[in-house]
Amino acid sequence: MTKEQKTEVIELLKSKFSQYENFYITDTESLSVDQVGKLRRACFNKNVEMKVAKNTLIKKALESLDAEKYSGVYDSLHKVTALMFSENPKEPAVILSSFRSEAKAEKPELKLAFINGDVYVGDNQLASLVKIKTKNELIGDVIGLLLSPIQRVIGALQNRPEAADAVAEAAPAAPEAAAPAADAPAADATPAAE
């Protein structure tokens, strides 16, 4: 690889790291060409960008952006590395998990996940990352919690007229019967007074 090519790769990686706040570093060393192709298709279908690059170039790209911010990432840059970039923080974890369960294998192995500035190191983090809630899911949960009391009030108000109607149908029968009886003597009394 020429110096110009390396510079191009570093610039491409810098743009990806700047574009995405979430990326995963995986070990794809033992995967066959067919398996890598299948993994790429799975990523493409879920809007996850997958890039394979040399560890030294990845490190240079990260260092040139913010060496301190990405300091926890450097120890995971060894062996064959595939990067997975995504807007959704859990989508790469879901892809890796389902890919591994379909292949009944332990690869691709998760080396590290960088999610909104937090670093998750090791393959043992994969199960936790699959359960991460996305921003939209969290917003939905909050809205659901906020709407819950309102829905109870609305439900109570909607049930109240039904309860009032039920009471009105059962109980008013006696007062209505009593009311005409009370009205009847008054009506008789009025003509008599004339």
User: Does residue 180 register a pLDDT over 70?
Assistant: no
| DSSP secondary structure code for residue 181 in this structure | H
Q: Can you give the CATH number for the domain in which 80 is found? A: 3.30.70.1730
Shared domain check, 90 and 64: yes
Type of residue at 34: D
Residue 167's pLDDT band (cuts 50, 70, 90): very low
| β-strand pairing of 22-27 with 109-115 | antiparallel
Shared domain check, 171 and 117: no
Cβ atoms of residues 97 and 123 within 8 Å: no
User: Does residue 54 register a pLDDT over 50?
Assistant: yes
Bin 54: left if φ > 0, else alpha if -120 < ψ < 50, else beta: beta
Shared domain check, 106 and 166: no
- Domain encompassing residue 156: 138-193
User: Measured between alpha carbons, how far is residue 63 from residues 14, 56, 73, 93 in Å?
Assistant: 9, 10, 10, 25
Shared domain check, 169 and 149: yes
Helices (H), 104-134: 126-130
Shared domain check, 108 and 54: yes
For residue 13, the model assigns a pLDDT of: 95
Shared domain check, 62 and 149: no
Shared domain check, 144 and 110: no
pLDDT tens digits along 85-144 = 999 999 999 999 999 999 888 889 999 999 988 999 999 999 889 888 777 777 887 888
Structural domains in the chain (count): 2
Residue 162's pLDDT band (cuts 50, 70, 90): low
Q: Which of 107, 132, 157 is the last residue of a domain?
A: 132
Mean pLDDT, rounded, for 32-50: 94
C-alpha closest to that of 24 among 116, 134, 137, 145: 116
Shared domain check, 162 and 101: no
Mean pLDDT, rounded, for 42-68: 94
